[in-house]
Structure 1
Amino acid sequence: MLAVYGTSGLMYRGPIEEARRVLPTLRSTRARALKVETDRPDFADSGWDPYAAHAPSAAGVPGEPLSRNAAVAVQAYGEVQRPSPQRQPLQRVADVMTPEVVTVRAGDSVEQAWQRLIDLGLGQAPVLDAQGQLVGLLTRAELLRPERLPRLHDSAIVWRALLAQPVSVVMVSPVPAVEPDTLLRRLALLLLHTGLPGVPVVDMAGALVGFVSRSDVLKAVVHDPPLDLWAG
């Protein structure tokens, strides 16, 4: 289910397939860089690594090289002691979204909001009004559009005026939002249609409960558990 919020409140609720019709004017933005971690088991707690060439001796001096069978046995023992999470297919937004949402206020200055995104290493944040209702989405890519920025030879006053503007002037609004039980393939369709790097997640009452980005979906593809993909 797709919901669209603007400064006047809820504007639309209906199928995601209607996104292209109800959101024809949203600007395209870029996704954040993806940080990928390796799947190599972490043996830091035990003080040594079975992939290393030597086993520890009683005196703390490297001993004889481990055979491959011994290393595999030690690794298996470690996995029994610390079993991996239960694997299950990822199908819905709730499976991959970030529940701790960083937001900015529509009345914040562009400078305040920009600094908040930089400090937290984020590319976007939902925008809330004074009552805490979702009204838009702020993206760094949107802020950096050439037609929005002053020219390099403009005076410092022009640049200060830009930074003093309220977020409500530069945010993407109306903004689409999805519910936690939305299928990931429908989310992908929405992101393709709008060009947005991510969308807010709201409950049936319209309360903000998370944010889901392209990076969240890509991480789900890279890491466990597996993503349930199909065509059609």
Structure 2
Amino acid sequence: MFFVFGPSGQMYRGGSEKLSQVAPVRRVQRPQALRAGRVDVPAPGAEAAPGHAPASIHLRAQDAMAAYAQTVQGPQEARRPLTRVRDVMTAGALTVSPDARAEHAWQQLAQHGIAQAPVVDTQGQVVGLLLRADLAPPDLLPQPGAVGDAVRRARRPVAEVMVSPVPTVSQDAELRRVASVLLDTGLPGLPVTDAAGVLSGFISRTDILRAVAADPPLDLWS
């Protein structure tokens, strides 16, 4: 079951096949990677110190060894296919208020290392989805003489930046339906709510991809 919520409440309830027709949900651009730090990349032609392999090689080797160890140990529980949102979603989620200032919301998302968060009103209902990429798109970063405009943008309320109305999904919805909605809307994930719009978690593209690579297996077509 899918829903659409905005500041005025529920706007749609039903299957995913009519979601794009009923909901005036704008298709968002794919978020661009915004890195808080930098990764040191060796200059062209530079060589590692004698007897020392690059740190990146050591990290990859450690990851590979850990993955191999997991495959040797095997699953600890009986395998079962993952078919529903509840199987892969992240229970609970960081939320922001529609009245919060954009700069404060940015700090919250950066502090928790996430790129999006459901926007929840004082009644605890989802009214939108905030994308970190929409808070400071690369083409709107301060240029010489534009500091004043950047400050005004930072002081905007989240309500002016969030994606709204926003589709949400119930815990018992099929994962393949969610994948279709994410492709259609361009959103990085969906809030998981009940019919009243009360948040219970979040399902993202990362959650689905993690399920593809994890054990027990993801089964989109059962």
TM score, norm. by length of structure 2: 0.78
Q: Which amino acid aligns with 1:131?
A: Q
Shift in alpha-carbon separation, 1:29–1:95, aligned structure 2, 3 A: farther
1:203 Cα offset (Å): 1.7
- 1:2-21 equivalence runs, <5 A: 2-21=2-21
What is the distance in 2 between the residues matched to 1:25 and 1:205? 19
1:28-43 matches, within 5 Å, as 28-30=28-30, 38-41=66-69
Alignment match, 1:137: 129
1:89 to 1:101, Cα distance in 2 relative to 1, 3 A = same
Residue deviations 1:78-115 (CA, integer Å, cap 9, x gap): x5xx9712211000000000002111110100000001
Q: Which amino acid aligns with 1:41?
A: A
SS in structure 2 opposite 1:168?
A: helix
Taking a change above 3 Å as real, the CA distance of residues 105 and 225 of structure 1, as seen in their structure-2 partners, is same
Checking the alignment, whether the CA contact within 8 Å between 1:19 and 1:193 is kept in structure 2 is no
Pair 1:179 & 2:170 matched: yes
Question: Does 2:87 correspond to 1:95?
Answer: yes
Structure 2, gaps ≥5 residues long = 34-62
**Judging changes above 3 Å, is the alpha-carbon distance between structure 1 residues 24 and 7 closer, same or farther for their aligned structure 2 residues?**
closer
Identity of aligned residues (%): 49
Q: Name 1:201's counterpart in structure 2.
A: 192
How many residue pairs end up in the alignment? 191
What is the RMSD of the two structures over their aligned residues, measured on CA atoms?
2.4
- Tell me: CA distance 1:88–1:32, structure 2 relative to 1, closer, same or farther (3 Å): farther
TM-score after normalising by structure 1:
0.75
Distance in 2, matches of 1:32 and 1:162, equals 19
CA apart distance, 1:32: 8.8
When residues 99 and 159 of structure 1 are mapped into structure 2, their CA distance, relative to the original with a 3 A threshold, is same
Question: Aligned equivalents of 1:124 and 1:26: distance in 2?
Answer: 16
Deviation at 1:163, TM superposition (A): 0.7
Letter in 2 for 1:9: G
> Equivalents in 1 of 2:200, 2:101: separation in Å?
24
In structure 2, C-alpha distance between the alignment counterparts of 1:152 and 1:129, rounded to whole Å: 34
State the shift of 1:25 in Å. 4.3
How many Å apart are 1:24 and its aligned residue? 4.5
Confirm or deny: 8 A CA contact 1:32 1:197 kept in the other structure.
no
The alpha carbon displacement at 1:129 in A equals: 1.4
Letter in 2 for 1:30: R
Cα pair 2:2 2:167 within 8 Å, conserved: yes
Contact 2:85–2:175 (8 Å) recurs in 1: yes
C-alpha contact 1:106 1:130 (8 A) present in aligned 2: no
2:44 paired residue number: none
Aligned partners of 1:117 and 1:124 also within 8 Å: yes
Structure 2 residue 17 is the aligned partner of structure 1 residue 26: no
Larger radius of gyration: 1
Shift of the 198–208 alpha-carbon distance from structure 1 to 2, 3 Å rule, reads same
Q: Distance in 2 between matches of 1:32 and 1:88?
A: 35
Show CA shifts across 1:12-31 (max 9, x none): 11111112212344132436
Distance 2:196 2:94 in 1: 20
